[in-house]
């Protein structure tokens, strides 16, 4: 299928695949983002004897195995007013400063007339976000079994409440899958480009002259404490650098509608608009090995800080296997030719505008089958996830 089509694509198979990886049902495997994440582009375009998994008829006490589940990426949520419908995002391009003609003897000579009517239009580029994904879920409630498996109305009420709580947990995890796909496309695209990747061990060795530290011994007592101190300083310096308006730390385009741009896109990210997502197992190593005074709370006090248990698959916390949609220098978007399969990813810092997800339409509709004597509740969602790769984003790798 084409990248960034205007239609709504079915995402159920993709969501099921990623859900199996993040819950440990299957091992990590390459996942294509081609028709899920919309990257900004400058181009316009039950049977009678069973209830659920077979509830037995009981007269004794029943216990329901259910508790509320919290998603891992709450900071990516956007409302439908902010990111609903077909979105266009206008970005202005810097112009050139000119000589002050009042101080130019040639321009101010007798017989000359400085032109105050010179045209100098403000240049801008437009990025477009199209389409979205759809998915639905069917939940069946049978009538006859409800009359036989519960001893009282109170017990049925407890069952119904527990059943709905677990259903909401499943829907929450569905949303988490969508959040991960949105987030991971940025991560894989940045790694694929290679420019804005912090190679922590490589940079540490170059900066300190340490020749004894390796990937194998980085967590040893002798090596990890000084390395963690250095990394804390490196990341806090990077937060400061992201606040500066520059053409670094994001993708750029060199042409717009076939014409060359005189200047690149400039971005800056204030601390309150910065998101940092770090791998939990790495941060726990810092917590247990390095005194809190080493990094205090500065790194954790940005606008949106989250500790993530794993990126894609619960069995491989620091690994990703994603085929991302990537912005090209001419403003088009293409899927990467090969999946980005790499481990040792320990974090990503990015602007709030870099990625997000919104539910633009959701609903539930019920129908009763009088012959089968059961209800079907059909839940459905229309989702828009977006990446703006011209906003700041850096990936942190242990290497």
CA-angle at 209, arms to 204 and 210, nearest 5°: 70
On whether the CB atoms of residues 45 and 4 are closer than 8 A, the answer is: yes
Distances (CA, A) of 263 to 36, 92, 122, 147, 252: 31, 10, 12, 72, 10
Closest CA to 136 of 384, 382, 385: 382
Closest CA to 150 of 47, 46, 64: 64
Give me the pLDDT at residue 310, please: 94
What is the pTM for the complete model shown? Answer: 0.78
- Residue 9's contacts (CB-CB under 8 Å, 6 or more residues apart) are 1, 35, 36, 131, 132, 133, 134
Distance CA 140, CA 161 (A): 15
Domain limits, the chain: 8-95+125-397
pLDDT in tens, the chain (399 residues): 455 565 566 777 777 777 777 677 778 778 787 756 666 665 655 333 344 444 444 444 455 555 677 777 777 887 765 565 557 788 888 888 777 888 888 888 888 888 888 877 778 888 887 777 888 888 888 876 666 556 666 766 777 777 788 888 888 888 888 899 999 999 999 999 999 999 999 999 999 999 999 999 999 988 998 998 899 889 999 999 999 999 999 999 999 988 899 899 999 999 989 999 999 999 888 877 765 545 555 666 666 888 899 999 999 999 999 999 999 999 999 999 899 999 999 999 999 999 998 888 888 888 989 888 888 889 888 888 889 999 999 999 998
């Amino acid at each position: 299928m084409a990248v960034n089509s205007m239609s709504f694509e079915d995402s159920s198979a993709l969501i099921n695949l990623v859900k199996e990886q993040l819950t440990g049902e299957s091992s990590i495997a390459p996942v294509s983002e081609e028709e899920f994440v919309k990257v900004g582009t400058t181009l316009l375009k039950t049977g009678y004897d069973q209830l659920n998994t077979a509830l037995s008829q009981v007269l004794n006490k029943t216990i329901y195995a259910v508790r509320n589940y919290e998603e891992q990426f709450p900071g990516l949520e956007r409302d439908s007013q902010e990111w609903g419908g077909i979105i266009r995002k206008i970005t202005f391009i810097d112009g050139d400063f000119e000589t002050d003609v009042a101080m130019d003897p040639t321009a101010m000579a007798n017989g000359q007339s400085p032109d105050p009517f010179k045209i100098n239009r403000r240049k801008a580029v437009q990025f477009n976000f199209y389409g979205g994904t759809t998915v639905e879920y069917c939940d069946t409630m049978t009538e006859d079994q409800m009359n036989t498996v519960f001893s009282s109305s109170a017990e049925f009420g407890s069952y119904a409440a527990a059943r709905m709580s677990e259903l909401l947990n499943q829907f929450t995890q569905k949303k988490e899958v969508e959040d991960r796909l949105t987030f991971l496309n940025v991560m894989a695209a940045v790694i694929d480009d290679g420019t804005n990747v912090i190679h922590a061990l490589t940079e540490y060795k170059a900066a300190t002259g340490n020749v004894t530290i390796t990937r194998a011994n980085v967590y040893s007592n002798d090596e990890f404490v000084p390395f963690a101190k250095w990394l804390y300083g490196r990341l806090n310096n990077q937060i400061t650098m992201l606040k500066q308006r520059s053409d670094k730390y994001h993708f750029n385009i060199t042409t717009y509608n076939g014409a060359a741009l005189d200047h690149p896109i400039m971005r800056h990210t204030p601390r309150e608009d910065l998101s940092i997502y770090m791998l939990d197992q790495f941060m726990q190593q810092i917590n247990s090995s390095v005194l809190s005074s080493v990094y205090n709370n500065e790194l954790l006090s940005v606008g949106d800080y989250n500790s993530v248990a794993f990126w894609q698959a619960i069995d491989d916390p620091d690994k990703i296997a994603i085929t991302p949609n990537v912005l090209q220098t001419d403003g088009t978007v293409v899927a990467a030719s090969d999946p980005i399969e790499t481990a040792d990813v320990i974090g990503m810092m990015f602007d709030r505008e870099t990625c997000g997800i919104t539910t633009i339409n959701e609903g539930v509709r019920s129908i009763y089958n009088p012959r089968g004597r059961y209800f079907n509740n059909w839940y459905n969602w229309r989702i828009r996830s977006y990446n703006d790769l011209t906003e700041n984003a850096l990936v942190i790798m242990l290497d």
